[in-house]
Structures are given as structure tokens and as C-alpha cells.
């Protein structure tokens, strides 16, 4: 097949004929583009042909489950992707509109090796992309993405006989049955169900009703214009809206889901947002009582409590801090045989015997309800307050161009390591160590820390800080890490800040 070109002018003959793919859309563990500025429909067909060629090169059975999120352009993009897969001789099993975890579930339910989910995840309208994988429950990591990028951009997609198409009905119903099982709440529970009019609107209310939870609806009508806000439970706009709903309804807590349903955000009965890493510690405490001595993986943006919490230590828990990113985390959970993995962005990876190891916001919602059922005398705020107190920032993202961000980050890592080596203080304290598994996590002598890393799927750096002492120290850590970031003139403004 011919090589795709990186840029084609819209509203031209070439735009409707020639494959156009901007190379930066191939990211660490999935593919994301602005549509149609960075990829056109022929480009998506070239991606499908490349993915099909990758499947065949690896000797994998040429069958794939394909789904799409609820956006007005996702069906056209999925059909273009399917055309390329069929050209490469792949049998396509189209599961229709879906959540990303429903597509991952389809690999098990239909017993197929591969998956491709057309979704922009939590990115706003105007973005599209594909989450894909061969080795369930895993998705493509950097090696697989590099291989796919080279096949596609070098025009190595190869035609092959045997491609076919089948629309498969009933996967949504099977997915919900699998999540719910025969569980029913034994205590009354009233939950704000926040879906931001995204794909999860077609799933979450039904799941809550099936397990006997009273729902306070929050933007549960499907509407791909996202009239209120972009569904992203890491964004303060959605979390504040969830908090307002809790306060006005007297709900026990709120659960919110992103655009493709693989993430879950939590606001407690007092209207306090509980960042996902802290929810992870609450869940780890509960699960470790059922499974003592378990290993839990946390991403480098997450709280230090997985390692320092006395209750987890007493239950023999082992904490493993790893690279941020759903693909990295899934792989790590499988590699180390962890019971679960927790990512600050709201991805939770619940492995056997709880889940199947992939990130599923709906599974997390069910498990949080089960946790509350096992703790009938506790409120969500009780569980939050029982944790050792820390002060943490939201995830903050200053602009850095995709073509520059990794070089910028490397220089920042070098500068922060140099500060530690020189014995410099940070926020008035000694630096204990700088963990460089994924960016730089500067850990102070009291366990407080600040992190800078590169976003894997947007043109940004990512900054998170946590203090075990005070809000003042948290702000001082941010000020010192930001001062180092500002030595790089190509870093732009933050999306949100403290």
C-alpha cells in the first residue's frame, strides 16, 4: 500500500482519496488524532490495514472485535478502520456502540484475540483515536505502537484474502450481566450517577438499578454535543458539578465516568472530591482484608500512602509504583500478579478474582457499592477521613508540543536529579531520592513529593504534588517544581492550577 502523507488540505480532491495521517498521533499506548485535521477517513483505512498486517505478522488468529464510542463521527471512522482490517484479511466482529471496557470484555465473551476500540476517550469533541490490543487483557504498549506506526507510515499494510464482516448483537447485555452477577445491595444506597451525556449514559444507570442502588441522575441522556461539559472525571468542572448534585440531593456519594467508560471519579457525601489514588487506598484497605498479602500497583502520579499507610502495612500489602498509562499499568498488574492497579487519572485495574485485569469504570462502580455494602456503618467521608491526611494537587498540565515534550522532559529530569545530587533543598526539605521510572518524582525526606512527566496522549507535561505535612508545603513543592519547569521557555500555560 502507498505511504500515507502527513498533511492534506481539507476540501480537496486529495483529501477524499489519499491517506493522511499525522505521525504524532501514534502515542505510547494508543492512537489519538484531531479529526479531520490530523487524520482523514482514507488514513483510518490505512491504519486498519496496518493493524491487520501487524496481526498477521505476529501469527495471531486473524479475528478482531471492533467497537466505537458515542460521538457523531465515530461510526464513520470505525467503518473506515474496518475496511482496512478487511483488506488485510481480518475477520471483523463489530459489537456496535460500546464502552472501551465492553470492547475488552468482548475479547473474552467472543473468544477473539484482538480488539480495536474507536474512541477519543476523555478528549473533547474534535478528537478521535483507537485503543487496541492482541494479548487480552493487555493493550498495545510502546513496542507494539512503534511497530504499528512503522507498518502504517512506511506503507507496509498488505492486502490479504479472507477478510469478512459480522455484526454481533447482545454483547452489551452480556457485559452488564457479567458486571452485576447475582449481587444485590443489602443496605440502602443513593448515588449520583454522572455521565456527562457520554457513552456511559447507556450503561451506568441500568447497572446501578440492577444492583439495587437509588440513582440521582446527572446528565444521563446520550448527547454527543456534550452540552454541559466534556465527560472527564479528572476535570474539576465535572467534579464540582458532581459535588453540587450530592449536596442538593443528599446522596451517599457521586460516581462519574469519562467518555469511553474506562475511568471513574468519586465525590463523597460531604461534597469532597476524592482523587482516584485515594479511592484506590480505600479500596486496597478493604480488599486486603479479603486478600491479605496482596500486591497493589500504583502509578507514579499516585499518593505515597500505598507504601506508607499503617493499615496496609499491617495487612502485609506490597506496593509497586509504576509508569503512568493504562497500557503500562495493565501489563505491570499482570507481570507481578497484583490484585489490582490504581492510577490517579481514574483508571482502576481489578484482576482475578475481582475483574479481568483491564480498566473498567463500571466494574469500579460495582466494587465501590460492594465495599459500601461490606461497611454498612461507614459513609464515604468516614472512609476518606480514616486515611492518613495528605494534601495533594489535581493533575495539572502545562502545554508542551508533542514534537518537543520528551526532549523538554529529559532536560527537566536531568536538572532535578542534579539538584538532588548537589544536596539542594526542595520546599525547604532535603531530597530523599528522585524516581525516574516515568519522568521525575522528587521524594522529600518526609515522604512528600512532586512529579513532572510527559503526557502520553496530549501535547502537555503533567505535574502532581503531594505533602504529608500541610497545604503550605504542597504549594511550596509546586512552586519549586514549577520554577524548574519555567527554565524551559517552550513550556506554555497550565490547563488548571492551584
User: What per-residue confidence (pLDDT) applies to 236?
Assistant: 87
Cis bond before residue 160 (omega within 30° of 0): no
Model confidence at 457: pLDDT above 80? no
Confidence of residue 325 (pLDDT cuts 50, 70, 90): confident
User: What per-residue confidence (pLDDT) applies to 317?
Assistant: 96
User: What per-residue confidence (pLDDT) applies to 188?
Assistant: 97
The number of angstroms, rounded, from the C-alpha of 73 to the middle of its chain's C-alpha atoms is 21
User: What per-residue confidence (pLDDT) applies to 308?
Assistant: 85
User: What per-residue confidence (pLDDT) applies to 425?
Assistant: 94
**Residue-by-residue DSSP string for 100-159:** HHHHHHHHHHTT-SEEEEE--TTSPTTEEEEEEESSTT----HHHHHHHHHHHHTT----
pLDDT tens by residue, 26-44: 988 889 999 999 999 999 9
User: What per-residue confidence (pLDDT) applies to 394?
Assistant: 86
pLDDT tens by residue, 413-433: 999 999 999 999 999 999 999
User: What per-residue confidence (pLDDT) applies to 28?
Assistant: 84
pLDDT tens by residue, 70-81: 999 999 999 999
- State pTM to two decimals: 0.90
Cα 135 to Cα 149: distance, rounded to the nearest angstrom? 18
User: What per-residue confidence (pLDDT) applies to 273?
Assistant: 93
Return the residue matching grid coordinates 475477520.
91
User: What per-residue confidence (pLDDT) applies to 409?
Assistant: 98
User: What per-residue confidence (pLDDT) applies to 163?
Assistant: 98
- State the chain's mean pLDDT as an integer: 96
Confidence of residue 464 (pLDDT cuts 50, 70, 90): very high
pLDDT tens by residue, 51-67: 999 999 999 999 999 99
Confidence of residue 1 (pLDDT cuts 50, 70, 90): confident
pLDDT tens by residue, 82-129: 999 999 999 999 999 999 999 999 999 999 999 999 998 988 999 999
User: What per-residue confidence (pLDDT) applies to 345?
Assistant: 86
User: What per-residue confidence (pLDDT) applies to 46?
Assistant: 98
User: What per-residue confidence (pLDDT) applies to 311?
Assistant: 96
Return the residue matching grid coordinates 481489578.
350
pLDDT tens by residue, 333-346: 999 999 999 998 89
pLDDT tens by residue, 193-245: 999 999 999 999 999 999 999 999 999 999 999 999 999 998 889 999 999 99
Length of the chain: 498
CB 44 within 8 A of CB 80: yes
CA distances from 51 to 57, 237, 279 (A): 10, 36, 36
Model confidence at 395: pLDDT above 90? no
Facing residues of 364 across strands? none
Amino acid at each position: 500500500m502507498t505511504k500515507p502523507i502527513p498533511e492534506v488540505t481539507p476540501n480537496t480532491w486529495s483529501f477524499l482519496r489519499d491517506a493522511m495521517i499525522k505521525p504524532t498521533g501514534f502515542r505510547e499506548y494508543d492512537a489519538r488524532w484531531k479529526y479531520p485535521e490530523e487524520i482523514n477517513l482514507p488514513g483510518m483505512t490505512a491504519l486498519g490495514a496496518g493493524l491487520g498486517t501487524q496481526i498477521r505478522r505476529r501469527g495471531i488468529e486473524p479475528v478482531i472485535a471492533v467497537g466505537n464510542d458515542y460521538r457523531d463521527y465515530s461510526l464513520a471512522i470505525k467503518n473506515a478502520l474496518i475496511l482496512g482490517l478487511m483488506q488485510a484479511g481480518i475477520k471483523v466482529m463489530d459489537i456496535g456502540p460500546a464502552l472501551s471496557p465492553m470492547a475488552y470484555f468482548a475479547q473474552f465473551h467472543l473468544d477473539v484475540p484482538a480488539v480495536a476500540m474507536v474512541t477519543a476517550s476523555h478528549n473533547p469533541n474534535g478528537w478521535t483515536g483507537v485503543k487496541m490490543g492482541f494479548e487480552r487483557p493487555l493493550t498495545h504498549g510502546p513496542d507494539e505502537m512503534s511497530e504499528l506506526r512503522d507498518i502504517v507510515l512506511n506503507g507496509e499494510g498488505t492486502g490479504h484474502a479472507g477478510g469478512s464482516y459480522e455484526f454481533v448483537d447482545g454483547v452489551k447485555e452480556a457485559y452488564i450481566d457479567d458486571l452485576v452477577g447475582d449481587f444485590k445491595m443489602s443496605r440502602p444506597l443513593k448515588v449520583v450517577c454522572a455521565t456527562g451525556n457520554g457513552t456511559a449514559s447507556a450503561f451506568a444507570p441500568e447497572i446501578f438499578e440492577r444492583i439495587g442502588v437509588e440513582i440521582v441522575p446527572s446528565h444521563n441522556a446520550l448527547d454527543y454535543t456534550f452540552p454541559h461539559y466534556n465527560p472527564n472525571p479528572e476535570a474539576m468542572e465535572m467534579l464540582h458539578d458532581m459535588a453540587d448534585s450530592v449536596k442538593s440531593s443528599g446522596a451517599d456519594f457521586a460516581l462519574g465516568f469519562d467518555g469511553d467508560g474506562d475511568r471513574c471519579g468519586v465525590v463523597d457525601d460531604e461534597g469532597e472530591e476524592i482523587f482516584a489514588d485515594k479511592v484506590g487506598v480505600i479500596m486496597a484497605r478493604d480488599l486486603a482484608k479479603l486478600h491479605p498479602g496482596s500486591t497493589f500497583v500504583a502509578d507514579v502520579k499516585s499518593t505515597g500512602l500505598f507504601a506508607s499507610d499503617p493499615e496496609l502495612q499491617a495487612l502485609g500489602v506490597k506496593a509497586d509504583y509504576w509508569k503512568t498509562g493504562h497500557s503500562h499499568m495493565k501489563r505491570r498488574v499482570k507481570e507481578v500478579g497484583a490484585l489490582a492497579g490504581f492510577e490517579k487519572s481514574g483508571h482502576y485495574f481489578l484482576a482475578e478474582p475481582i475483574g479481568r485485569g483491564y480498566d473498567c469504570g463500571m466494574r469500579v462502580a460495582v466494587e465501590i457499592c460492594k465495599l459500601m455494602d461490606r461497611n454498612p456503618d461507614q459513609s464515604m467521608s468516614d472512609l476518606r477521613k480514616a486515611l492518613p491526611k495528605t494534601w495533594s494537587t489535581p493533575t495539572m498540565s502545562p502545554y508542551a508540543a508533542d514534537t518537543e515534550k520528551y526532549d523538554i522532559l529529559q532536560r527537566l529530569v536531568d536538572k532535578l536529579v542534579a539538584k538532588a545530587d548537589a544536596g539542594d533543598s526542595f520546599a525547604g526539605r532535603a531530597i530523599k531520592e528522585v524516581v525516574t521510572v516515568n519522568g521525575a518524582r522528587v521524594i522529600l525526606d518526609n515522604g512528600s513529593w512532586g512529579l513532572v512527566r510527559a503526557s502520553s496522549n496530549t501535547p502537555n507535561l503533567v505535574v502532581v504534588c503531594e505533602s504529608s505535612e500541610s497545604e503550605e508545603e504542597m504549594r511550596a513543592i509546586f512552586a519549586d517544581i514549577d520554577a524548574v519547569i519555567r527554565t524551559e521557555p517552550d513550556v506554555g500555560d497550565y490547563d488548571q492550577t492551584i
